[in-house]
Structure formats: C-alpha cells, structure tokens
Structure 1
C-alpha cells in the first residue's frame, strides 16, 4: 500500500514538472498545424483581409495576448509602421524570402478599420516574426 502511494506521488511529481505552456512560442507544434485561413471583412467599408498561414489560428487562440490587451490606437500606430516595413520587403524579393512576402498589404492609417482588424493584423506580424524569425523595424513582442 505504501509503495502504491509513493508511485502515485512520483507520477504526480513527474507530471507537474512538465511544460507549463507560458508564453513560449512552440514553433515545431505550430509548423505542423494545417493551413489556417482567417478572413476579416467589413462590407460597409468595402475591405477584406484574408490571412492564409499555417498555425496562425492556433497562435491567435492560444499564444497571442487576448483582445483588449492593447488599445486600438496602439495597434494602429504599430500596424502603420509594420505594414510599411512589410510592403518594402514585398518589393525586394532578392533580399527577403518571396514566399513570406507575397502580396502587398493595403493599409491606410487614416481609415478606422476597427479593433478586430488591427488586432489580427498586428498579431499576424508577431506570428511572422516568431514563426519565421523575422525582425521588423518596429519591434513586435508577445
């Protein structure tokens, strides 16, 4: 009986010493995820963003800061700089991987896209930086 108790305590100890999850970005787990498609649309403003990236949906639901963590103005300011940096990379396929920087992002900082679009766009840049080890002119952090 004592041995069973010790075995259970040892098993519990080993189990509790496992990974805590935290905010570490498990790129191996994400890279194995199926292709994700995130579509953001607002018909009244006639814009649409489609993000097709393996693991992005898992990232946004598991590792990104929750909605409301950043203010909309913070996200708009970051996105204005990040989109500019991203678009410059699209036009330099000899310097940057053309498989990562496929299409230009048409983002006008003078348009109010709303919180959700800015949140997902910013987190796409965070995901891109972490998953593919990209460094943008404006630091992205998790």
Structure 2
C-alpha cells in the first residue's frame, strides 16, 4: 500500500474519531422545594420509599422549627434519616450552605402525626406545628409500601 494512501487513511480515521464526539450532557437543575401538584402528578408507579421522604422534608420545612435562629433559608434544610421504624422516624436537620452542618433533630411519630423537636431535650421534646397537607401526602405515599 503506498505511503500516501496510508497517511490519508490515518487522517480519515482520526477525523472520524473526532466527528463522533457528542455534545456534553446538560445537568438538570434541581429544585430545593417540591411543588405538591407536580410531585403527585409525576409519582411513578415503581416509586421507592425514599421518594416519600421528600414529603417529610417539606413537612419539616413547613413547621415552626426555629430556622431563623440559624439564619438559614428553610428551603436549604434537608433531612438525614437516623432511624425509621414502625412508630417513629428520627432525623437530623442538615444544611449544605458554605459547608455542611446539623442544625437540629426531629422525630415524626407515624401513628399520631406528631412532629417533635428533639434538639434541646430528648426526654422532653417540644411539639412542632406544620402544614398538614404534607402529612397527608407523606402518609398516602408511605401506605403504598
């Protein structure tokens, strides 16, 4: 095979490799909060229990937990589940603004829907108030599993 043809084939092969390079994938923006109607409408049939925790997160965000003491936007607070049993879900309230940190602990009592702030005193937690629409969505989601 002549040298000129070999060089032409090599060049063609290199150009072919570069032309196959695709466009970089775009990252989708994630929202810090959940639109209730959108979340219900887009709930897939094979949804996992972890997705139900999104409703619990919104339940906590809607509560009268003292977020203002931490000077944190409650939309930036997430839950880290410590324990989830038949009676109680225990969580750390964490934030990822300029570093991670725990700002408190809560317990959600499944049977009566009570949300308790266990941050200051585990033996005598204070009860928190919250928007009950999130309780209904969480309970409905969790009952399917």
TM-score by length of 2: 0.29
More strand, by proportion: 2
More helix, by proportion: 1
TM-score by length of 1: 0.29
